[in-house]
Amino acid sequence: MSMIQLDNVHKSFGALKVLDGVSFEVNKGEVFAIIGRSGSGKSTALRCIDRLERIDQGRIQVCGHEVSDPKLDLRQLRRDVGIVFQSYNLFPHLTAEQNIMLAPTCVKKLGKAAARDLAREVLSRVGLEAKAEHFPEQLSGGQQQRVAIARSLAMKPKLMLFDEVTSALDPQLTGEVLKVMEDLARGGMTMILVTHEMAFARKVASKVVYMHQGQVWETGPGAMLDNPQTTELREFVGSGL
């Protein structure tokens, strides 16, 4: 069952064409990895899916929402779609637990006690229940990123988007975060991730899309990274990016 569909999506910033007729679909339960060089349009595609950017042409459907519709209920879309960025965006004056409780209490009107239970539950899923009362500055980068993932999970989204969530982390901390994402994948969470982690994409992704110059250049299972069909992907994989 298709949960996300992009159909001939175009997006420019001024004279710069960033997405040039992008089409793909993601089915329920799939882990969908988007790879490509910087400037290939992969993060812009992700931001368009969550309507952080408006598209110029084409159509995007996400979890039954017509994202390109001017009358879109943004709040409902954001309930269904969780997004985690490279920067953790945690509130420094709130503990890990309080950062997670914020959206369920404000958006879903959950009571304090229920929100605290929920926060503990999602922190436990990312292996950080013991850090519930720590402030962000008391946590490593990997731990902060895991709290950011837990914060998204607390809204019980149907879809999770990850935008290069490990690119600011050293290898050991990257491993912590990727393990959490792998566990989510194993649990059946539908995920789209923009990533430079080729080994992770090869291992976990049910489908990989290689973007080049704002277009879907090559698509296939993770194993396609071992046998690229285009010169561009062969050079990209060979460069170790």
pTM for the model = 0.91
| Residue pLDDT, tens place only, 151-196 | 999 999 999 999 998 887 888 888 888 888 889 888 999 999 999 8
Chain-wide mean pLDDT for the chain?
91
Q: What is the pLDDT of residue 102?
A: 92
Q: What is the pLDDT of residue 22?
A: 96
Half-sphere exposure of 105 (CA within 13 A, CB side): 14
Share of the chain above pLDDT 70, in %: 99
CA–CA dist 115, 105 (Å, integer): 7
Whether residue 45 has pLDDT greater than 70: yes
**Band (240; pLDDT cuts 50, 70, 90):** low
* pLDDT > 90? residue 216: yes
Mean pLDDT calculated for residue range 30-41: 93
pLDDT 10s digits, 5-27: 999 999 999 999 999 999 999 99
**What is residue 114's predicted lDDT score, i.e. its pLDDT?**
92
Instruction: Please give the structure tokens belonging to residue 50.
Output: 């969550």
Mean of the pLDDT values across residues 191-219? Answer: 92
Query: Which structural domains are found in the chain, ordered by start?
Result: 2-90+159-238 (3.40.50.300)
* Res 62 pLDDT > 90: yes
pLDDT number for residue 176:
86
> What value does the mean pLDDT take over residues 72-83?
90
DSSP track, the chain: -EEEEEEEEEEEETTEEEEEEEEEEEETT-EEEEE--TTSSHHHHHHHHTTSS--SEEEEEETTEETT-TT--HHHHHHHEEEE-SS----TTS-HHHHHHHHHHHTS---HHHHHHHHHHHHHHTT-GGGTT--GGGS-HHHHHHHHHHHHHTT--SEEEEESTTTTS-HHHHHHHHHHHHHHHHTT-EEEEE-S-HHHHHHH-SEEEEEETTEEEEEE-GGGGGS-SSHHHHHHHHTT-
Cβ neighbours around 87 below 10 Å, total:
13
Angle of CA points 147, 153, 159, to nearest 5°: 130
